[in-house]
Amino acid sequence: MNELKNDRYLRALLRQPTDVTPVWMMRQAGRYLPEYKATRAVAGDFMSLCKNAELACEVTLQPLRRFPLDAAILFSDILTIPDAMGLGLYFEAGEGPRFSSPIQTIADVKKLPIPDPEQELGYVMNAVRTIRKNLQGEVPLIGFSGSPWTLATYMVEGGGSKAFTKVKKMMYAEPAALHLMLEKVAESVTSYLNAQIKAGAQSVMIFDTWGGVLTGRDYLEFSLHYMHKIVDGLIHENEGRRVPVTLFTKGGGQWLEQIADTGCDAIGLDWTTRIDEARQRVGHRVALQGNMDPSILYAQPARIEAEVQTILAQYGQGSGHVFNLGHGIHLDVPPENAGVFVESVHRLSEPYHR
């Protein structure tokens, strides 16, 4: 299980030399691919797709059949942990995820269990094992979780939110309740990611989608503090290799130095932070992942290529850059445009690695 035919993604995360800049896309397995829609129709609904190891493996591998991507990412959802804690995850048509039993009081928080990753979340580990086997060492497999803060927003709001008033009310009016919840979620995320690593994930990523809605002070106290705890608790070596960890806070460009202080191997950037400035600030300490605006993929091929060239030139010579979008690929992007993007990264990045 140890031999990797293409390890440039893992090498770049550890800032080791690579032949070209590796590339993968957030949400690369998803609704922009007709074959994904067909598989999801077979599964019946989104969570049934997540819980079927063979189908989750199939959709994980679909983008790799189309594009020469340098990594596969586990097909799952960030809300698997709150679901396993008994909050009753369901999906409302056109509305996204919802919880039937959101957290409202400290009594609710105290009742939250820490799920066993091989029991309540065993279906995720089955998917990891199945995908890893089927990848046959072609590229590394990325495991992931949501950050404690981001998961807490859904758990308290009962679903997605624009203003985050319920969770911020808890943060300001009952901080002890929120800290207790974040403590439990951080413990759950740590054991969940470690179980993914034992099952075969070769790198892990923490998605802090909503960290950017916080003030600087609150980000450090309610989001980054708990991601730091997770980084400290992770298995950092498995199968004779380092297991790199990437932290991604959407809207987190102002806190790069503090994110690097956690001891993570890489920081994910969204498109609002220039990659040259990020490299100047933290590039000698961590690798950088990012950071093209996903909406560029609506453009003509020449415009997509120009954007790739711009970002490569901004990053400059040497390793330590994993090319990615600044957030997930949009569901109505033509797949051939994603193909232009991936091909351009490999072709245009070669001179930067000589």
Residue numbers belonging to the annotated binding site for substrate: 27-31, 77, 154, 209, 327
What is the Cα–Cα distance from 271 to 292, expressed in whole angstroms?
A: 6
Q: How far is CA 115 from CA 80, 84, 122, 179, 345, in A?
A: 10, 6, 10, 18, 40
CA atoms within 13 A on the CB side of 177: 20
Closest CA to 280 of 245, 310, 316, 323: 316
What is the Cα–Cα distance from 203 to 266, expressed in whole angstroms?
A: 11
For the question of residue 31 being annotated catalytic, the response is: yes
What is the residue type of 238?
N
Catalytic member of 19, 77, 218, 293:
77
Contacts 24+ apart (CB under 8 A), 169-172: 171/218, 171/222
Contacts 24+ apart (CB under 8 A), 295-298: 295/330, 296/341, 297/325, 297/329, 297/330, 297/333, 297/334, 297/337, 297/338, 297/341, 298/330, 298/333, 298/337
What is the Cα–Cα distance from 66 to 312, expressed in whole angstroms?
A: 23
For the question of residue 154 being annotated catalytic, the response is: yes
For the question of residue 27 being annotated catalytic, the response is: yes
Binding residues: 27-31, 77, 154, 209, 327
For the question of residue 40 being annotated catalytic, the response is: yes
Catalytic member of 31, 242, 281, 285:
31
What is the Cα–Cα distance from 238 to 193, expressed in whole angstroms?
A: 13
Catalytic member of 9, 36, 154, 192:
154
- Report which secondary-structure segment, H or E, holds 282: helix 275-282
Strand bridging mode 241-242 / 89-92? unpaired
Q: Is 203 helix (H, G, I), strand (E, B) or coil?
A: strand
Residues with a catalytic annotation lie at: 27, 31, 40, 77, 154
